[in-house]
Structures are given as C-alpha cells and as structure tokens.
C-alpha cells in the first residue's frame, strides 16, 4: 500500500503542475532565446513602437488550416510573436486568426484586403499534390490598413510587422530631400529605397534652382549618382545647409561604365572637388576585387550557343563592415564599379571608414575597356581593405556639427523603373536606408531592418569548426544515453541495497 501511495502522489503532483503551467501560459507568454543573434528576442525598436501606441491596432492573420508541418511552424511562430506584441502593448494590439479557405466569402475578403494565395506542394502517402494556401496578415489602425501579403518561413517576421505598425501609427513624418537637377536618377528609380524610407519619412524631390527654397526643413538630403556639373551657386547652398547642421547622404560615381561598349571613363561634376574640401577624396580609379559577383557571357560551342557565368572583379561583393549602427546586421553589399575613398581632413573632424573591400583588392585607372576573357591571378590584387564608404562628422562648415555619409558608387541603390526595373542584391537598400536613419537621428529600426537568420554557408566556416560541429552532433546523443544508463544502473543498485537493509518493509 505504501508503494502505491509513493507512486500515485508524484503523478498527481505532476498533473497539478502541468495544469497550473497551462493556465499561466494562457495569461503570460515567456520563451527562452538561446540563438546567437537573439533572433527570438523583440528589439528595443519594436518595444518602443508598441509602448507608444495611442489607439488600438487590429491584426487579422489569414492562414489556411491543415498545412504541412513546416508551414504550420510559420503559423505558430507568427502567433507567438503576436502574443508578445499584445502583452507589451498593454491591450493596444489585438489579433485573430481566420481560415480563408473555409468559404468563398472569407476567401474573397482576404484577397480584397491584399492577401495573395500561393501554391505549395503537399506530399500525401505516395503522391504529391498542389494546394492553394493563404499565409498573410492585415494590420489596421483607425481607418488606415496595410497588408503583409505573404509571411514566408524563415524570414524576419518582426520587421514586416513592426514597420507596418509604425507606418500606420506615426502622425507626423520627418521630411527628407532627394536632390534633382544634375542628371540624378528620378526618385522612382530607387523604388526599393523609397518604399523603405516611406515607413518613417516623407521623401520629396528638391531642386536647388528654386529661389528661397528652405533646405533646413529636411532632416537629411540624399544626393545619388549625379552626372552633370554642379553650378557654384548650388554648391554654396549645400554648404549653407551643412553650416546649419544639415546632414548629407552622397552616393557618387567618379567613373561611369558603358557596358554596351565594355568601356569605363572618368566623369567630373565638381562634386568631387567639393568633397575633397571636406576631407573626403574619391580616387580617380576603379576597384577590382577577388571577392566579386558574376556576369553571363555568351559562348558558342559548335552549333550551340550558351551562357556561362564568370567572375567579374569589377563587381565587388563587400562583406567587410565597420562596427557602427549604419552597418549593423549587414552581410553583403554589391557595388557595380566602385572607387576608393581616402581621408584628407584634420583631427577636428571624426572620420569612420564604414565599408571596406576584401584582403585581395586592386585598382585600375580609367579610361579602360573590359576584357571578360582576362585570366585573373593574385598579382592583380596586391592591395587590401580599401575604403569604399565613409562617414565624416563634426564642424564640417562653421560651428554647427553636421554629418556626411559618402559611398563611392552612385549606382548601388538604383534599381530602375518600368521595364528596366530589377531587384537589388544583398544589403544595398539597407546600407542607404540605415545611413539616412542614422543621419536623421531615428535609428530605432536599423537593428530591426537587418535582423533575421544570418546566412553562414558551410564553405565559409573554418575547418576546425566544421569538425567540432560534426563530432559534437554525433557524440552528444551517445554520451547522454551512456550517462542515463549509468544513472539507471546506480539507481537500481541503491534500491537493491536499501531492500537488503534490516527493517525494510
């Protein structure tokens, strides 16, 4: 009888604890984040956004039910995120999950709200079938609403959710200027950058020809890829803007490439001389880097034509970033035709090289013609870590502090418009948007924009680390089984010894 009670009481206690934990989990949500980059920990930016909500935000999640396990995990992760958001907002964020596939009316409502269906392959027994599913959400605040058409597995859900909440809840957005009048691409040619900036700012094109144009109203002015000469009066107006404490983001080409003719030539607008007076000298060179992108080259073999991808050192893939809020979380930026930057100012200014090339770098001097058949070797890359983006801060002009972020490639944030539009690679958009966020003293979403799963391909992991991970994953389960076996043997042995003692009942 005594043995029965000793078994029943622990079982009852465990059941009571389980029930109690379930009751608490309905009221409070806690999860332990053991990831290296705190992937499952809400950022301070998100907490500030939720804490500052003045009216209720409603999130309607449209997720199809009865989905494969990998997609069910996405749904569960998104629900966990909404629970945390709701708790931090102190009731100012409410949510619900709806299955759009349950009837035609609900499905039409989801589509009308901006949720797009996707087709996924579902394996059942010995066959694979395709099914239309919904994985999106609609965020509503007052009369305004925004849709997240597709929440994909593995993507940073927090950024999509928080930025849309911020976009709906902010009342007065700071103003940014985008300079025009010197051959710069139109603002619509930077569509991805424009979309990211529009979350927190109003962005408008600005001309320096307008008499009485008040530049001081702009938090930051962006100058991207000018191709025509700057009149002296325009440079004086920019000087006046800096003297009043203004901030500049400049993406500038000192060389221009004509890919149809495979040629590169120098350009001169007067901006390079103006920058040099501020301590930022852009070289009259073109950087080549062993760590580079590829281009497709048409080749013929017999009667067949085919395209072969070859490495193109004029297209550096940059992965070397200074520790700074502007570069926080960046992994790769692609620079088509970039030049070097050197600092020629004095110690009264603070100079920070933000982005550098790899350890195998070289420079060539335009004018030149591309030779796509060139066989590159280590002798072509005798240099190391050349600066291609930099920050200068301090009293650049006058006695009021200001800042300039300079990138020695004017085309890296341009993705075109219409039929010429293309998607930018790497973190090109993030580099420009992070820079403007920092310059505009609104760094809250910098860490959030680049937060996500870090890409670490196995071929970039050191051999020692690979071996350690391999044996760790192999041996740990075996070691745990052995230790558990030893524990059981010792426990049973103690029980036998206790039973042999005098007076044991």
Percent of the chain with pLDDT over 90: 46
Residue 190 contacts residue 224 (beta carbons within 8 Å): yes
Say if residue 210 is exposed, middle or buried (CB neighbours under 10 Å; 0-12, 13-18, 19+). Answer: exposed
Residue 340 contacts residue 390 (beta carbons within 8 Å): no
Residue 406 contacts residue 250 (beta carbons within 8 Å): yes
Q: Which of 71-75, 318-322, 423-427, 456-460 has the lowest mean pLDDT?
A: 456-460
Residue 177 contacts residue 204 (beta carbons within 8 Å): yes
In this predicted structure, what is the pLDDT of residue 453?
Answer: 43
* C-alpha dist (Å) from residue 338 to 134, 166, 430: 42, 35, 18
How is 26-94 classified by DSSP, letter by letter?
HH--------TT-TTS--HHHHHHHHT--S-EEEEEEE-SS--HHHHHHHHHHHHHHHHHHHHTTTSEE
Neighbours of 120 (CB within 10 A): 16
How crowded is the C-beta side of 299, counted as CA atoms within 13 Å?
10
Residue 370 contacts residue 313 (beta carbons within 8 Å): no
Span 118-149, pLDDT tens digits: 887 777 666 777 788 899 999 999 888 989 99
Is 50 exceeded by the pLDDT of residue 459?
no
More confident residue, 456 or 299: 299
Report residue 107 as tokens. 């499905």
C-alpha–C-alpha distance, residues 415 and 353, integer Å:
25
C-alpha–C-alpha distance, residues 219 and 176, integer Å:
6
Q: Please give the DSSP secondary-structure letter assigned to residue 444.
A: T
In this predicted structure, what is the pLDDT of residue 504?
Answer: 58
Task: Provide the pairing of β-strand 263-266 with 333-334.
Answer: unpaired
* Secondary element (H or E) of residue 356: strand 350-356
Span 9-26, pLDDT tens digits: 566 665 666 566 555 555
Is 60 exceeded by the pLDDT of residue 370?
yes
Span 208-244, pLDDT tens digits: 988 677 899 999 999 999 999 999 999 999 999 999 9
In this predicted structure, what is the pLDDT of residue 45?
Answer: 79
Of the pLDDT bands very low, low, confident and very high (cuts 50, 70, 90), residue 34 is very low
Is 80 exceeded by the pLDDT of residue 207?
yes
User: How large is the average pLDDT for residues 30-49?
Assistant: 64
Is 50 exceeded by the pLDDT of residue 69?
yes
Q: Which of 219-228, 434-443, 445-454, 466-475 has the highest mean pLDDT?
A: 219-228
Is 50 exceeded by the pLDDT of residue 170?
yes
Span 344-361, pLDDT tens digits: 999 999 999 999 999 999
Terminal C-alpha separation, the chain: 11
Residues 6+ apart with CB under 8 A from 123: 68
Residue 242 contacts residue 223 (beta carbons within 8 Å): no
In this predicted structure, what is the pLDDT of residue 44?
Answer: 79
Of the pLDDT bands very low, low, confident and very high (cuts 50, 70, 90), residue 422 is confident
CA 15 to chain centre: 45
Span 374-389, pLDDT tens digits: 889 999 999 999 999 9
Q: Secondary structure of 148-212 in the HEC alphabet?
A: ECCCCCCCCHHHHHHHHHHHHHCCCCCEEEEEECCCCCCHHHHHHHHHHHCCCCEEEEEECCCCC
- Say what the pTM is: 0.72
In this predicted structure, what is the pLDDT of residue 421?
Answer: 74
Of the pLDDT bands very low, low, confident and very high (cuts 50, 70, 90), residue 40 is low
């Amino acid at each position: 009888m005594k043995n029965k009670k000793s078994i029943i009481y622990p079982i009852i206690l465990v059941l009571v604890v389980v029930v109690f934990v379930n009751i608490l989990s309905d009221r409070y949500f806690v999860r332990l984040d053991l990831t290296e980059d705190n992937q499952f920990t809400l950022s301070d930016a998100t907490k500030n956004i939720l804490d500052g909500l003045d009216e209720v935000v409603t999130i309607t999640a449209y997720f199809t039910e009865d989905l494969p396990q990998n997609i069910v995990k996405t749904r569960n992760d998104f629900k966990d995120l909404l629970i945390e958001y709701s708790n931090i907002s102190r009731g100012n964020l409410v949510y619900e999950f709806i299955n759009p596939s349950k009837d035609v009316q609900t499905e039409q409502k989801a589509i009308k709200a901006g949720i797009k269906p996707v087709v996924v392959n579902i394996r059942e027994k010995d066959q694979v079938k395709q099914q239309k599913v919904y994985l999106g959400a609609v965020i509503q605040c007052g009369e305004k609403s925004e849709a997240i058409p597709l929440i994909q597995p593995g993507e940073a859900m927090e950024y999509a959710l928080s930025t849309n909440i911020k976009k709906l809840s902010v009342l007065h957005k700071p103003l940014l200027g985008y300079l025009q009048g010197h051959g710069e691409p139109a603002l619509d040619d930077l569509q991805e950058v424009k979309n990211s900036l529009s979350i927190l700012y109003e962005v408008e094109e600005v001309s320096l020809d307008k008499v009485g144009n008040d530049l001081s109203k702009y938090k930051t002015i962006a100058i991207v890829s000018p191709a025509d000469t700057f009149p002296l009066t325009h440079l004086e107006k920019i000087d006046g803007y800096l003297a009043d404490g203004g901030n500049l983001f400049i993406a500038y080409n000192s060389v221009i490439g004509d890919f149809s003719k495979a040629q590169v030539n120098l350009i001169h607008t007067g901006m390079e001389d103006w920058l040099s007076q501020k301590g930022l000298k852009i070289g009259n060179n073109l950087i080549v880097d062993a760590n580079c992108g590829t281009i497709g080259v048409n080749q013929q073999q017999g009667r067949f034509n085919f395209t072969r991808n070859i490495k193109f050192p004029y297209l550096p893939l940059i992965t070397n970033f200074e520790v700074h809020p502007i570069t926080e979380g960046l992994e790769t930026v692609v620079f088509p035709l970039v030049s070097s930057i050197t600092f020629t100012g004095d110690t009264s200014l603070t100079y920070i090289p933000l982005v550098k090339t790899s350890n195998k770098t070289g420079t060539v001097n335009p004018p030149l013609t591309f030779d796509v058949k060139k066989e590159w070797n280590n002798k072509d890359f005798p240099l190391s870590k050349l600066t291609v983006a930099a920050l200068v801060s301090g009293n650049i002009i006058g006695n009021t502090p200001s800042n300039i972020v300079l990138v020695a490639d004017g085309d890296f944030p341009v993705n075109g418009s219409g039929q010429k539009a293309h998607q930018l690679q790497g973190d090109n958009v993030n580099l420009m948007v992070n820079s403007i966020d920092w310059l505009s003293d609104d760094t809250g979403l910098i860490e959030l924009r680049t937060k996500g799963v870090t890409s670490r391909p196995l071929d970039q992991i050191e051999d020692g680390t690979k071996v350690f991970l391999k044996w760790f994953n192999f041996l740990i389960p075996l070691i745990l089984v052995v230790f558990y076996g030893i524990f059981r043997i010792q426990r049973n042995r103690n029980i036998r010894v206790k039973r042999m003692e005098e007076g044991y009942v």
